[in-house]
A and B are shown apart, each in its own frame.
Chain A
Amino acid sequence: MARLTINGTAHDVDVDPNTPLLWAIRENVGLTGTKYGCGIAQCGACTVHIDGVATRSCGVLVSDAVGKQITTIEGLATNGALHKVQKAWIDHDVPQCGYCQTGMIMAVAALLKEKPKPTDADIDEAITNICRCGTFQQVREAIHMAANA
């Protein structure tokens, strides 16, 4: 049994502490917006915030996430209002298949918290998620839109 605090709510989950956080979030807590893409922290589809830091949840053990504030895509909106990154994503029609985009949005939201007006170089350095559809041009444009929103 492990107590995970996700989107402000404590969940007691009955898992081996060595389970990757990704699978505890998806299967034990039931929040499926966080995606499995590679399982080796390469693609970023499983990105969540742990104590505010964008983190690939497939590479974090449940035991290491206990006692920390975990935010998933389902917890990004506040009081029913979408986060400015989510809004920019809708307004700029960023997602194609969308599968990687929840992770992408979580990575971008963390970037904007750290650097509210990121340069292209900041984006290049911070955003390393894989998108096989190839939305990068729209992602970059929407990051700037969100930063200026």
Chain B
Amino acid sequence: MNYVPNVNRRSFIVGAAAVGGGLALGLELPLGPKVVRAADGTPEINAWVVIRPDETVVVRVVRTEMGQGTLTGLAQLVAEELECDWSKVTTEYPTPGESVARKRVWGDFSTGGSRGIRMSHDYVRKGGAAARMMLLQAAANEWKVPVAEVTVDKGVITHKASGRSTTYGKVADAAAKLEAPKDPPLKDRKDWKIAGKPLLRLDTPDKVTGKLVYGIDIKLPGLLNAAIRDCPVQGGKIKSFDAAKVTGMPGVKKVVQVGDSGVAVVADTWWHAKTAVDALPVVWDEGENTKVSSATIAEWLKAGLDADQGFVGNENGDAKGAIAAAAKKVEAVYAYPYQNHAPMEPMNATARWTENKCEVWCPTQNAESAFAATLAASGLPADKCDVYKTYVAGGGFGRRGAFHDYVRQAVLIAKEMPGTPVKLLWTREEDMTHGRYHPVMQCKLVGAFDKDNNLTGLHLRLSGQSILANVFPQNLVNGKDPLTFQGLMPQGQEHAFGYTIPNLMIDHSMRNPHVLPGFWRGVNINQNAIFLECFMDELAHSVGQDPLEFRRKLMSKHPRNLAVLNAVAEKAGWGKPAPQGIYRGLAQMMAFNSYVAACAEISVTNEKIKVHRIVAATDPGYGVNPAQIDRQVAGSFVYGLSALFYQECTVKNGRIEQENFDTYNSMRINEMPKVETILIEGGGTVWGGVGEPTICVAAPAVMNAYFAATGKRIRSFPLKNHNIQMA
């Protein structure tokens, strides 16, 4: 079951009332000879494939490219089945407006939860396969030969018996008029020639010349720029502001209140807008939340560690009884902080509003969610709105998926200046203080051993914030947030617990501070992997057992978890002497239907940790582009180790204290360990994700190595709070 929910499209559904049964389909099956034409007049073979007379193959992609390589991977899957010439492949993004008009023919646009490829591979491949079959049929019809006698290689169709050949571009028009096959068969993995290969990304060249247009770079005739200040305390409002103080400043066109909590200045340039909004006198009504601080939140969560009530996420046997009867008990309390996504491109959106049309240009991980925000803010129906997603988003990491506050603001501002396009760009400070933060969580773990040092029970109690309770309350199950238990869930789920323990209780005392939580790359596996995998290490050492052997005994029913763990242990040389001064630590997890493990090699000198080498294994079932998987895995350690060492958003007087990278650091190249990636393609019917799972093993692998090096356990993060630095 997939717990990462779809967009909250209450307003979207209104505009797209007919969506209904179309939610799951991805492949358009046109009835009769009705041909849909692309913008340039070229007929579509189907919704996923357009072939131009010059043989260019246009693959439609609705998932977002934000660095993770999904664009290239999805195109590879379509091209694989299509049997086209990869060098002729280009891509195109349908808009959510077009999608609504065509009853969501392209399915879900959402690009979060590592779903870009794993949740659409089946229907995009069928789109490619169906298009190939129609193209071949069109050639066979033209030659009046059985379709079984024609073959294709790189878009060139051949009838061997008669020596004739043609190309996709030449028969595309005829193919588009044919009826689509109902359920085209797909190739076996072993027959892949384009997918499964480490091909270069399609979106690189313009990134190295500065030509690529990100949201921040959008230019439109008559464009004005806006800078905004939203109330620094979540839940607070604007009491008043003195627009007259800034209306005479250079370039200023208008001062606009945005909703009940924000105020923006619109100017000719963004620098003028930003300068004026900084100078604008604003009186806030910050409300009750000013009483909240990191300390008050921590106290509240601490009380939840022993609270009677807890939502049960995973349970077997009698953990309480096993702990009561234990010959030996081990107990620990961990804590994980708020963190901000901080993608390099700050939040931005450009909007143009008239009474008849609202258009938005923006980076987004889910153009449909941005579309819903546009409808709501514009007051216009779906057929009068559209969202044009930029080719690439300058990072996302979950910030631009379910949350389109920046789109809402841009539309509200544009609405005050009908007909004028306005680009709203947040400062880094606005971005840091108005995030959708990685939730705070504490965790108390109690392990029970019998007299023979067998682990008989484990109670893992989470206490902290639920993302769903705030973002998608309709996805709570009798009040419980199932997503809280990522990596700890019962077997058969996409974030399943990887050990068999006879008596197990995993539960959650939900405590929701006012600080807005969000899906932060990896989501709840980040803290859960630290809690579980550091504690497994504690348990192993408490009974004098090797952490690898200790885990293995509990993993016989979890062969794919075991396989990735064994793979990193073997490659790292676990059990063999490490180089002088080097210490090793392990961690494993299953998340987003992928199995991941890491072995870290570190040294510690005067409270400075040098992470020398990481061996990481990932089994997503299928590897669509091994080179991009390699990059996602290596990058995951930058994201995960930056979080471990440096990143915490603290709360004071109800507001987030960190405003920029000087107080919210991110690791640099000199701190980067050598990452060696092992890709295991375990196959199966369910595909796993790649962009997120590995992040969660970064921190526990390093922390377990830190214990091996120093004999010390650190149980709250980031490490900078313990004066431990990254070397």
Contacts and interface: CB of A to CB of B under 8 A. Distances in A.
A17 B343 CA distance: 30
Contact of A82 (B200, B208, B212): B208
Given A101-B207, A129-B668, A131-B638, 15 more contacts: A35-B344, A37-B346, A38-B428, A40-B660, A73-B210, A95-B67, A95-B207, A97-B343, A98-B67, A98-B204, A99-B344, A99-B345, A131-B344, A132-B397, A134-B638
A36 B346 contact: yes
A45 interface: yes
Contacts of B225: 27
A39 B574 CA distance: 45
A74 B344 contact: no
Given A86-B209, A95-B208, A105-B208, A38 B661 contact: yes
Contacts of A98: 67, 203-204, 207-208, 212, 392, 394
A79 interface: no
Contacts of A133: 67, 344, 395, 635, 638
Most buried by A among B67, B69, B217, B636: B67
B204 A90 contact: yes
A119 interface: no
Q: Nearest 3 CB-CB pairs, A to B?
A: A33-B210, A134-B638, A134-B635
B669 interface: yes
A102 interface: yes
Nearest to A128: B668
B145 interface: no
A38 B269 contact: no
A9 to B, nearest CB: 15
* A-side interface size class: 35 or more
Contact of B395 (A19, A23, A124, A132): A132
A135 B392 contact: no
Pick the most buried of B69, B217, B635: most chain A CB atoms within 10 A of its CB.
B635
A27 B269 contact: yes
Contacts of A96: 67-69, 631, 635
Contacts of A86: 208-209
Interface of B: 66-69, 200-201, 203-205, 207-214, 216-217, 219, 225, 250, 269-271, 342-346, 392-397, 425, 427-428, 627, 631, 634-639, 660-662, 666, 668-670, 672, 674-675
B396 to A, nearest CB: 8
A55 interface: no
A137 B674 contact: yes
Contacts of B209: 33, 73-74, 76-77, 82, 86
Given A32-B210, A73-B209, A102-B210, A132 B660 contact: no
Contacts of B674: 137
Contacts of A132: 342-344, 395, 397, 638-639, 666
A27 B271 contact: yes
A34 B269 contact: no
B627 A93 contact: yes
Contacts of A70: none
The B interface is mostly helix, strand or loop, or mixed, namely: loop
Nearest to B628: A93
A139 interface: yes
B208 A40 contact: no
Contact of A93 (B269, B270, B631): B631
A47 to B, nearest CB: 12
B520 to A, nearest CB: 12
A90 B209 CA distance: 10
Contact of A45 (B200, B207, B344, B675): B344
Nearest to A105: B208
Contacts of B395: 97, 99, 132-133
A140 B672 contact: yes
A148 B427 CA distance: 39
Interface string A114-135: 0000000001110111111111
A89 B201 CA distance: 12
Contact of A89 (B208, B213, B669): B208
Interface of A: 15-16, 19-20, 23, 27-28, 30-40, 42-43, 45, 72-74, 76-77, 82, 86, 89-90, 93-102, 105, 123-125, 127-140
A37 B425 CA distance: 11
Contacts of A94: 204, 208
22 contacts: A33-B210, A37-B661, A72-B210, A74-B210, A77-B209, A97-B344, A97-B395, A98-B203, A98-B204, A99-B394, A124-B669, A127-B669, A128-B669, A130-B668, A132-B638, A133-B344, A134-B636, A134-B638, A136-B672, A137-B674, A137-B675, A139-B669
Contacts of A102: 207-208, 210
Nearest to B393: A97
Nearest to A143: B669
A76 to B, nearest CB: 8
Contact of A27 (B213, B270, B638): B270
A135 B668 CA distance: 10
B684 to A, nearest CB: 27
A97 B394 contact: yes
Contacts of A33: 209-211
B306 to A, nearest CB: 37
Contacts of B425: 36
B661 A40 contact: yes
Contacts of A89: 204, 207-208
B637 to A, nearest CB: 7
A94 B330 CA distance: 46
Given A43-B661, A136-B638, A101 B208 contact: yes
Nearest to A135: B635
Q: Which of A30, A37, A74 has the most CB of B within 10 A?
A: A37
Contacts of A95: 67, 201, 204, 207-208
Contact of A97 (B66, B213, B342, B660): B66
A48 B211 CA distance: 15
B459 to A, nearest CB: 35
B660 A90 contact: no
Nearest to B72: A93
A45 B343 CA distance: 12
Contact of B208 (A31, A90, A124, A140): A90
A101 B428 CA distance: 18
B147 to A, nearest CB: 38
Contacts of B397: 132
Contacts of A105: 208
A19 B271 contact: yes
A100 B668 CA distance: 13
A97 B67 contact: yes
B73 to A, nearest CB: 13
Nearest to B695: A134
B661 A127 contact: no
Contacts of A125: 670
Contacts of A19: 271
A131 B176 CA distance: 44
A23 B268 CA distance: 12
Contacts of A76: 209
B639 A23 contact: no
B76 to A, nearest CB: 14
B697 to A, nearest CB: 15
Contact of B428 (A37, A73, A99): A37
